[in-house]
Chains A and B, each alone.
Chain A
Amino acid sequence: MTDVMTDRRPLTGQPGDPLPVSLKQARLPRWSPPVIALVSAAAGCGIGLAAGLDSRIQWGLIAALLFIVGTYALAAAVEGRRQAKDRLATSLVWIAFLLAVIPLASLLWETVARGSKVLDGYFLSHSMGTLPDAMPGGGIYHAIIGTLEQVGLATLIAAPLGLFTAIYLVEYGRGRLAKVVTFFVDVMTGIPSIVAGLFVLSVWILILGFGPSGFAGSMALAILMMPVVVRSTEEMLKLVPNELREASLALGVPKWRTILKVVLPTSIGGITTGVMLAIARIAGETAPVMLLVWGAKTINSNPFEDAQQSLPLYVFQQWQQGSEASYDRAWAAALVLIAFVMVLNLVARGIARWKAPSTGR
């Protein structure tokens, strides 16, 4: 570009220049931020090496500090204070972004890199059985079965309840009951997962005297899932244009058939998305499963009796064992869990885009 550092250009406007030159401020050249970044990164590494700091985090911090100060000083000298502040804000925002990307990228990278070490067909199709914890081998078949059954049962409980509650709130609710329900749905969204687990523990195990089972875990998961389903379904039902309802009612169709045949089909894509996102959320819950399902080493495909295993709990228990082999298994199970959750998320968002409700013309 033409607006380089030459701020002392002759005051006579050049032909073809739309603006009088005197209105143009001095600007730093466009390549200056990356150059300052490179220089400060190099200086950060240099200082880090020279001072013998062994943590890369410190190198990064020093480099970031140099970058901020350098940009501000240069801009203040060349462009003035207001522009310097603007540059300062820009560099802070970029640094915030990089600061957040590093741990999140590292999390995904570590999981994939360490998890793929022992992940194979054998790992997916075998349980731990009687394998000693420190030995390599074993697998997560029992955990996959447990997770699928617990999450499936929780969905069977929570999805219809949540769906009907949302229908009540959007289609029927006018009075005080609807307001109270709305408020408590909000409250329920904030329940920590371990508190839901403690509730089921106090009723189902301590008072009613049942033992640990997959079903007990599903009840706690259902409590966590219900408000999420209500919220998302409510949003979707509100998107359905009122003209559709009115047209159907004007034709003499009963209200319940209007809801069933007009409102729900129009919003089914968004509702499915909401339910799948809720499933993805509860599939990774560990705390209630630990309190209520306890975990097992062998295959138990009956969710109504005896302890079961689940993927997140398996990750935790393998981490607790603390041997190299069990760390490998924990990472591999974490990779399977993350893949499961991500696939659910991607499919759900795909459905949302594919079946987006047509809101009128």
Chain B
Amino acid sequence: MNPQAPSTPDAPPLPPPPAAGPSPVSGKAVRPGDRIFLGLSRGSGITLLVVMAAIAAFLTYRSVLAISGDHANFFTTLDWNATGTEPRFGIAVLAFGTVVSALLAMVIAVPVAVGIALFISHYAPRRLASPLGYVIDLLAAVPSIIYGLWGALFLVPHLTGLYSWLDDYLGWTGIFSYSDGAARSLFTVGILLAIMILPIVTSVSREVFLQAPKMHEEAALALGATRWEVIRMSVLPFGRSGVISASMLGLGRALGETMAVATVLSPSFLISTSLLDPGGGTFAQNIAAKFSEADTFGQDALIASGLVLFVITLLVNGAARLIIARRKEYS
């Protein structure tokens, strides 16, 4: 179709008058400036698509090279040895560590983030509320390497006490058993990731809560509801899908986080049920740790694990977008 159509919707669908010179009325006379501009902007859009296609294509290509050279099952092997004549590597440990640490981060961060969002939107004194929202937005911009540095040098030493306490009382579950040593475990990673995704989950949830219809809240108040009942009956149902998509965005971030995990975790290729003991690994952390000593084949193997991470984050983000889009249809 003619891309000019929107600007001149009443242009007659007739062929242009032959050699009538530039007609000032007809929309069919495309000016060169317009053509160049349209070309530039459409070209940029297409470039973006090409880049996305190239990412998928090249990652898949290098991954196929790596997986076909793997002498063990890529999905179930509990080892990462991509050098030598008989490379054996698999992503089982990485998938376990990535999913567990990201889910832990979600479980810790989402309730707290919803709490802060409610605090800013409904509880805080008004003079405090808008600067707080501003500060939360600023904190979302702190680079992840700084969280990593803080996590490794400040958080880890401060968690050993808590961990041995957890071990004393909950050690029998197997999940919370802890033998002494630095707290460089998946659980610490989960806590750090939770702190990292707090600002983003909070700021998205806060925006949704602020959009809750004022009339509903006032109606509930007029019926004598307490503040909590107002929130439970009119704010939370309205904001539920927004909170879900915010947490999915946070989950996407937690899954792909590299530096904060690489600095805090002391990795090993074991799946252990004890989350407090050091060990385990995540996709991104493993890439960062193994990259410098990898040869070309080793890098291909890391690219293959990166492709798995890519697919997982795509699925999570796609689900989040789907929820947002469905909500738009309703409101």
Main secondary structure of the interface of A (DSSP, over half): helix
Whether A104 contacts B198 by the Cβ 8 Å rule is yes
From the candidates A54, A93, A174, name the one contacting B115 in the complex (CB within 8 A). Answer: A93
Whether A53 contacts B43 by the Cβ 8 Å rule is no
**Which residue in chain B gives the minimum CB-CB distance to A340?**
B143
Whether A201 contacts B299 by the Cβ 8 Å rule is yes
A residues in contact with B137, CB < 8 Å = 345
B51 at the interface (CB under 8 A from A): yes
Whether A168 contacts B145 by the Cβ 8 Å rule is no
A residues in contact with B198, CB < 8 Å = 100, 104
Main secondary structure of the interface of B (DSSP, over half): helix
Cα–Cα distance between A192 and B159 once the two chains are bound (Å): 28
A174 with B6, Cβ < 8 A, contacts A93-B115, A169-B45 known? yes
Q: List 6 A-B contacts (CB under 8 A).
A: A54-B161, A178-B45, A194-B288, A285-B143, A287-B284, A315-B145
A residues in contact with B302, CB < 8 Å = 198
A residues in contact with B317, CB < 8 Å = 186-187, 189-190
Q: Mark A169-194, 1 if CB is under 8 A from B, else 0.
A: 10111110110110011111111111
A206 at the interface (CB under 8 A from B): yes
CB distance from B308 to the nearest CB of A (A): 10
A residues in contact with B152, CB < 8 Å = 319
In residues 278-328 of chain A, which contact B (Cβ within 8 Å)? 280-281, 283-287, 290-291, 312, 315-316, 319, 327
Q: Mark B18-47, 1 if CB is under 8 A from A, else 0.
A: 000000100000010110111011111111
Whether A283 contacts B143 by the Cβ 8 Å rule is yes
A100 with B112, Cβ < 8 A, contacts A187-B317, A286-B259 known? yes
Q: How many residues of B contact A (CB 8 A)?
A: 102
In residues 1-27 of chain B, which contact A (Cβ within 8 Å)? 1, 3-7, 24
Whether A186 contacts B321 by the Cβ 8 Å rule is yes
B residues in contact with A280, CB < 8 Å = 141
A residues in contact with B40, CB < 8 Å = 164
Cα–Cα distance between A34 and B317 once the two chains are bound (Å): 42
Cα–Cα distance between A195 and B258 once the two chains are bound (Å): 10
Whether A226 contacts B48 by the Cβ 8 Å rule is yes
A92 at the interface (CB under 8 A from B): yes
